[in-house]
Each structure stands twice: as structure tokens, then as C-alpha cells.
Amino acid sequence: YACINPEIVSQSKETEEIEEGCLSLPNITGTSTRKKTITITYLNEYGKKMKTKARGLLSCIFQHELDHLNGVLFIDKAKNIRERISPLSPSI
């Protein structure tokens, strides 16, 4: 599955706050505000233009990943940023 050159073409006015993290910043979380519903256009892996309406978690994921493509990390928008201590972290 591929989304090449994705672009948000419409979004709901309604937002939701979610607890967000990122593999680029391990053990860091924060509260982000994201649109509840978005519609995106993109090219699939065969170059065919596609349109997808995403709601809820999928909408948040698309917005998070599109931010990456635009050089934005979730901590640039989040509030209540904190570090989580992993129970699997080795003791020193």
C-alpha cells in the first residue's frame, strides 16, 4: 500500500484530542489536536489517482505522517509533552 504525494483536500471542523507518540522520538508523548475527518488524494503504487476519506484514528495517522512530510514533528503542535519510562528499559 502506498500514498504518493498525499494532499488533504478537505477536513472537518470537528477536532479531537489524542495521546500521540512517534518512533522518531521514542518514549515521548503529548496531547495533539487533530481533525476528526479528512479527505486525501494521492497516487497509489501504480500511479493511479486515489481519494480516501479517513475518520478517527486513521485520520490522525494520516495527519501525523503528512506532518512528517512537511518537516513537522508532533511535539511542534502537542501540549502536555512528557517522557515515558519504559518498563523494559535496562537498569543502570
Contact between 37 and 13 under an 8 Å Cβ cutoff? The reply is no
Catalytic (active site) residue 16: no
Q: Which of 7, 17, 65, 83 is an active site residue?
A: 65
**Count of alpha carbons within 13 angstroms of residue 30, beta-carbon side:** 17
Element holding 68 (H helix, E strand): helix 56-69
Active site residues: 65
